[in-house]
């Protein structure tokens, strides 16, 4: 099986959704970090790593590097570490993702 690298130079994206540079979830997470910590630096990323188990190098790739599309599981881990959760809701005929306050799971 041939390995295909999806770098910003050769990623074609989806026909019904295109982003210019990076997935909007990266901007949303950056905004959450700024709301919680007031800054985005290595010490903040280390706190997020401790809370989410998403490595600092991964986070640096999102915000300062070439990462265009973070894994969903990593994104949700960081969002939850910031006290929020990702929820899919219906809005008219469309389903959209929204960030909501995290609630404890009760089975």
Summarised one tens digit per residue, pLDDT across range 22-51 is 888 999 999 999 999 999 999 999 999 999
| Whether the model pTM is above 0.75 | no
Does the residue 83 lie in any domain?
yes
User: Based on the structure, what is the number of domains in the chain?
Assistant: 1
Is 15 a member of any domain?
Answer: no
Q: Is residue 8 part of a domain?
A: no
Residue 1, in any domain of the structure: no
Structural domain span for residue 65 = 24-101
Q: Phi first, then psi: what are they for 45, rounded to 5°?
A: -65, -35
34 within domain boundaries:
yes
- Condensed to tens digits (0 to 9), the pLDDT of residues 54-85 reads 999 999 999 999 999 999 999 999 999 999 88
């Amino acid at each position: 099986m041939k390995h295909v690298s999806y770098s910003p130079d050769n990623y074609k994206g989806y026909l019904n959704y295109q982003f210019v540079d990076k997935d909007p979830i990266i901007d949303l997470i950056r905004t959450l970090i700024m709301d919680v910590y007031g800054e985005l630096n290595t010490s903040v990323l280390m706190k997020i790593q401790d809370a989410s188990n998403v490595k600092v190098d991964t986070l640096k790739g999102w915000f300062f590097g070439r990462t265009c599309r973070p894994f969903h599981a990593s994104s949700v881990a960081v969002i939850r570490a910031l006290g929020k959760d990702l929820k899919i809701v219906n809005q008219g005929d469309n389903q959209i993702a929204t960030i909501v306050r995290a609630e404890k799971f009760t089975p």
